[in-house]
Amino acid sequence: MTKIYPSLLSADFAHLGAEIQRWDALGIDGFHLDVMDGHFVPNLTMGPSLIKSIRPCTLKTFDVHLMVTNPDMFIEPFIAAGADRISFHVELDGDLTPLIAQVKNHDKKVGLALNPETSVEKLASYLPMIDFVLVMTVEPGFAGGQFVAKALDKIPEILAHDPSIDIIVDGGISPKTAPRAVELGAAGLVAGSSLFAGGPDNYQKNLVALLRATGRL
């Protein structure tokens, strides 16, 4: 069963708690939270204090995606704020093993994110150490980016290295793009614009359309 994670980057930040509760009631599997530092990507988003403030709104998984240059500075604060899963980018300089261990030491799930143009080979040596891979199908930084279909070809490549690894696809996910991701082996989908389109009155309809596209309905 492919899991669905609404991306809160597409939510109404003025009513974030209510947004979370609406999606929770609709039965989604967890929430994806994009953290950007204005350096690794040219945008700034949410910090630990925001995560902490919305954590009481749901018991569902908080999947925190660190698009930051120095994850070592962010891992502890976000875990303390309520993150259940943390991913950061394989494109970062240096050995990522200490960062992976930093998350694991807190008994949290750890993943590596892979930008559309990055080779799977850059990731391969880390696969035995991590719980999931976040395959980016848009260039990271802003919601609503252009879907990069060829990035989906990385799914079978990754599974060839490690058939048991969970692969989450993030970016441009809609009822049109989801079936191919699921067919190739995605365990989860992060969806923003397609789920939040039209506001709260359309959330259930949008979710049903995506669930049908993944074969869950």
CB 116 within 8 A of CB 139: yes
Which residues lie across from 61 on neighbouring strands?
A: 30
Q: Which of 24, 34, 72, 84 is catalytic?
A: 34
Q: Tell me the C-alpha distance between 147 and 42, whole Å.
A: 19
Q: Which of 12, 63, 170, 201 is catalytic?
A: 170
To the nearest 10 degrees (0 to 180), the angle between helices 203-214 and 16-26 is 50
- Whether 29 sits among the annotated catalytic residues: the reply is no
- Whether 34 sits among the annotated catalytic residues: the reply is yes
Tokens encoding 212: 């049908």
Which residues participate in catalysis according to the annotation? Answer: 34, 170
